[in-house]
A and B are shown apart, each in its own frame.
Chain A
Amino acid sequence: MTTPRLALVGNPNCGKTSLFNRLTGANAKVANYPGVTVERRSGQIQGLTHSAELIDLPGTYSLQTTSLDEQVAKDIILGNMAGESPPDLLIAVVDATNLRLGLRLVLELQSLNRPLLLVLNQMDAAQARGMIIDIPSLAASLGIPVVSTVAVKRGGVSELLDALDKFQPLPAHTQVINLSQPESVEQLYARIQKLLDAHVHQHASIPVWQDRLDTWVMHPVIGLVILFTLLLVIFQAVFAWAEPPKELIEAGVDWLKAGFTELLPVGILRDFLVEGLIAGTGGVLVFLPQIIILFFFILVLEDSGYLARAAFLLDKPMRGIGLSGRSFIPLLSSFACAVPGIMATRTIQDPRERFISIMVAPLMTCSARLPVYALIIGAFIPEREVLGFLNLQGLTLFALYVAGVVSAALAAWLLRWRESRDTYPLLLELPNFRWPMPYHVAIGLRERVWIFLRRVGTIILSLTVIVWFLSSFPGAPTDATQPAIEYSFAGYIGRAIQPLFAPLGFNWQMCIALIPAMAAREIAVSTLATVYAISANAADTALGQTLSHSWSLAVSLAYLAWFVYAPQCLSTIAVVRRETNSIKATAFFTAYLFALAYFAAWVTFRIASLF
């Protein structure tokens, strides 16, 4: 017998993903790209007597879809997704505090004539608001099992697990999906009103503190001040809080280097381990604390319900450049990684707005660029207090992020001419504020740490080995007058492409780092670490110090400017190809960002050289 496949279906913001995390726990198949669920994520349900696969579908209000992500949910529910049969059981998740809206989708799902189970999530919040739902009688009226859950609490899903344990999948031949739409919206809501009147005593009202908070965060002026203060605090924290754990990792890497240097005889193995493997991967690993801090803030903001308010505030200004509040969340998640950000553009209904969002998403500084920024800022920007409370390094980082955002705005504005514009609605739900759930944030962070470590352990490690090899062979001739690396393959390749980058002031070491950075931007750091470790022939100096001796300030700023725009990593280019389904658009995307990078680095170098 095959493992039954169960699918979570529900409105956006109903707490579906928290429920998914709670049910699949630490054993969920880690999706490549966390964040807004736009593709199916799946995992084994923990705590059942038999095994069952759980699928988390993109949030949807209706089966009459208006965007691509809703279409994905519908296709999976109906079994129209290539190579997938319809799920054996639909688990409809409804936010108990928002019962009316959620039940509409439930009634629509019920008309499909599929096995269906209703979960009333966030039951604790509903009870706290004085809502009393008679669950057995509601289940009797609906004719489907109904359970309540509190996904934020440990043990809050036990009732659901009991219900799932009793579930027996129907034999395939009895599964006929009913596609006719028997009822209008008005009729559905009339039925919902009857259900609510009969089974819900005392309707929930929005708590006063939520309304008060909304008057502040949605205020046109104060709200904007709050938004920018939040962003500034995040960038300060990325630098300030990360310092102690970062120093700890650096010390560990140095200890390993020293240990191997002492332990092994002089020779190729020692060079490989110390200068290649440890210098290369260690150089990237030290940025783990900063990445954790950045994602901590993104996850907390996402979980709290705040992001929809920010999208609301920014809708009008963003419309001026061909985007809208709907593009805010995809663009914000591009700060973590452009790949999930570009996938999240499926929530945008307007095709032109979606195209523009895809084109500018990579200008939002992704976390892979953070190691490059952090390295160069750490080496060249003095650690100084500005205005008594701001850190100059943190401010520089903020400026780089702003440069990306401003460029994105300009690029979007220029792209507006494309195609005539139809009007699409905003219709954005502003969900209840919620305390971010530590368990959910912890699972999200665990995913990010795991993805980062996996990158370090696979792609970054293997490219580091290749870079080390290219930098070490062939060895220097006996009559060598320069460091050995000048005679290596890397030296030749670097010098061959260097003339192309000479107007930007880049030396050949910087050029060679740009090539493997196409696979993952952090590799620029590990490549520089390896190249300079070999040429210095002394692995004990920190990379930052080495760079501050060998690059001028103007060149380092030009290098930073380059990384604001390019190189776009191959996975980003691949996802643009998939989501636009156009080679022309992908080629345009790649070319325009390279041109921008070249131009920005050139201007920066020229201007900075004047001082």
Chain B
Amino acid sequence: MKALSTNILTNAAFELMADGALAAGTYNSLADCPKGVWVTVGQMQSNSAFGEQDPAVSQRMKELGFLPGARLKIIGYGLFGSDPLAVQINGTKFALRRAEARKISVSPL
């Protein structure tokens, strides 16, 4: 019983730490963002996972509004492994995968 409550406490402490880390803005891309937190989009980064497609993917993402200064929030995850993720940006919702999320640098609002 005691062990269990300690465990819960530890978890709570971890969550607090996670929140603190957020406030400090230590995550580098949308892929590291927690759900439900508004962030500001920064520059589009390249992701080698897309290979030759990468510039076209960047172009399309920019066209859809993933541009510096836009406000964005993760609103949900698909089945298994938090991939894909659903985001809200400029009053529109999009589903994208972690690979695309890694291209979007973000900073706290």
Q: Are A and B associated in one complex?
A: yes
Binding site for B on A (CB under 8 A): 61-62, 64, 66, 97-98, 100-101, 104, 185-186, 189, 203-206, 211, 214-215, 218-220, 224, 308, 311-317, 325, 422-431
Contact pick for A424, options B53, B62, B95, CB 8 Å: B53
Q: Contacts A426-B100, A429-B94: A315 and B78 contacting too (C-beta < 8 A)? A: yes
Contact (A312, B84) CB under 8 Å given A185-B62, A220-B78, A423-B51: yes
* Most central of B50, B67, B86, B97 by chain A CB within 10 Å: B97
Q: Name the residue on A nearest B83 (C-beta).
A: A316
Complex Cα distance A426/B97, Å? 6
Q: How far is the CA of A98 from the CA of B75 in the complex (A)?
A: 18
CA distance A104 to B60 in the complex (A): 12
Which residues on the A side are within 8 Å of B67 (C-beta)? 185-186, 189
Q: A66 to nearest B CB, angstroms?
A: 6
Which positions 62-109 of chain B face chain A at CB distance < 8 Å? 62-65, 67, 75-81, 83-84, 86, 88, 90-97, 99-100
Whether B49 lies near A423 (C-beta < 8 A) is yes
Complex contacts, A315 vs chain B, CB 8 Å:
78, 83-84, 95, 97
Q: Complex: how many Å from CA A425 to CA B84?
A: 10
B59 at the interface (CB under 8 A from A): yes
B92/A214 in contact, CB under 8 A: no
Tell me the bound Cα distance from A423 to B51 in angstroms: 7
- Report chain B residues within 8 Å CB of A308: 95
Query: Given A426-B96, A427-B96, A430-B94 in contact, is the A62-B63 Cβ separation under 8 Å?
Result: yes
Nearest B residue (CB) for A95 = B92
Known contacts A425-B57, A429-B92; is-contact A313 B79 (Cβ 8 Å): yes
CA distance A215 to B35 in the complex (A): 12
Which residues in B have some Cβ–Cβ distance to A below 8 Å?
49-53, 56-57, 59-65, 67, 75-81, 83-84, 86, 88, 90-97, 99-100
Once the chains bind, are A325 and B84 in contact (CB under 8 Å)?
Answer: yes
A430–B77 alpha-carbon span in the complex (Å) = 13
Chain B residue numbers with a CB within 8 Å of A427 are 57, 60-61, 64, 94-96, 100
Partner of B60, one of A66, A186, A218: A66
Q: How far is the CA of A81 from the CA of B26 in the complex (A)?
A: 51
User: A64 to B67, alpha carbons, bound, how many Å?
Assistant: 17
Interchain CB contact under 8 A, B95 and A312: yes
In the bound complex, residues from chain B placing their C-beta under 8 Å from that of A311 are: 95
A101, B80: Cβ atoms under 8 Å? no
6 A–B contacts from the bound complex (CB under 8 Å):
A185-B67, A218-B75, A312-B95, A315-B95, A423-B51, A427-B61
Looking at the complex, which one of B79, B95, B100 makes contact with A317 (CB distance below 8 Å)?
Answer: B79
| CB-nearest residue of chain A to B65 | A101
- Which of A205, A220, A423, A429 has its CB near the most chain B CB atoms (within 10 A)? A423
Residue of A nearest to B77 (CB): A220
Determine if A218 and B86 form an interchain contact, defined as CB atoms under 8 angstroms apart: yes
Taking CB atoms, residues of chain A closer than 8 Å to B78 are 218, 220, 312-316, 325
Contact partners of B63 in chain A: CB under 8 A: 61-62, 64, 104, 185
Is B51 touching A422 in the complex (CB atoms < 8 A)?
A: yes
In whole Å, how far is A171's beta carbon from the nearest beta carbon of chain B?
Answer: 34
In whole Å, how far is A196's beta carbon from the nearest beta carbon of chain B? 10
Q: Please measure, in the bound complex, the distance between the C-alpha atom of A353 and the C-alpha atom of B40, giving whole angstroms.
A: 33
Would A220 and B79 count as touching, CB distance under 8 A? yes
Residue of A218, A220, A428 near B80 (CB, 8 A) is A220
CB distance from A421 to the nearest CB of B (A): 10
Taking the nearest CB of chain B, how far is it from the CB of A244, in angstroms? 39
Give the distance in Å from the alpha carbon of A422 to the alpha carbon of B50 in the complex.
7
| Contact A205-B95, Cβ < 8 Å, known A211-B75, A313-B78 | no
**In the assembly, what is the distance between CA of A100 and CA of B90, in Å?**
8
How far, in Å, is A311 (CB) from chain B's closest CB?
A: 7
- Are B94 and A317 neighbours in the complex by a CB distance under 8 Å? no
Q: Are B60 and A61 in contact (CB under 8 A)?
A: yes
Closest to A102 in B: B92
- A317, B60: Cβ atoms closer than 8 Å: no
CB of A425 within 8 A of CB of B99, answer yes
Quote the shortest CB–CB distance from B32 to chain A (angstroms).
18
Bound-state CA distance A350–B88 (Å) is 25
Query: Nearest Cβ distance between residue B105 and chain A, in whole angstroms?
Result: 15
| Residues B65 and A100 in contact, CB atoms below 8 Å apart | yes
* Chain A residues whose CB sits within 8 angstroms of the CB of B52 once the complex forms: 422
For residue A424, which residues in chain B have a CB less than 8 angstroms away from its CB? 50, 53
Extra contacts, 5 of them, besides A64-B60, A218-B75, A317-B79 (Cβ < 8 A), are: A66-B60, A206-B91, A313-B78, A314-B79, A427-B95
CB-CB under 8 A from A422, the residues of chain B are: 50-53
Q: Within the complex, which residue of B56, B76, B93 is in contact with A66, where a contact is CB–CB below 8 Å?
A: B56
* Candidates A189, A224, A314; contact of B65 at CB < 8 Å: A189
Q: Which of A101, A189, A224 contacts B79 (CB 8 A)?
A: A224
**Bound complex: CA of A215 vs CA of B75, how far in Å?**
8
Q: In the complex, which residue of chain B has the Cβ closest to the Cβ of A305?
A: B93
List, in ascending order, chain B residues with CB within 8 A of A425's CB: 50, 53, 57, 60-61, 96-97, 99-100
Report how far A422 CA is from B78 CA in the complex, Å.
Answer: 22
The docked-state distance in angstroms from the alpha carbon of A211 to that of B36 is 12
Establish whether residues A317 and B80, one from each chain, have CB atoms under 8 Å apart when the complex forms.
yes
Whether A101 pairs with B95 at a CB distance below 8 angstroms is no
Complex Cα distance, B79 from A341, in Å, reads 24
In the complex, A429 Cα to B92 Cα: how many Å? Answer: 8
Q: Please report the C-alpha to C-alpha distance between residue A189 and residue B64 in the assembled complex, in whole angstroms.
A: 10
Residues in chain A near residue B92, CB distance under 8 A:
98, 100-101, 429
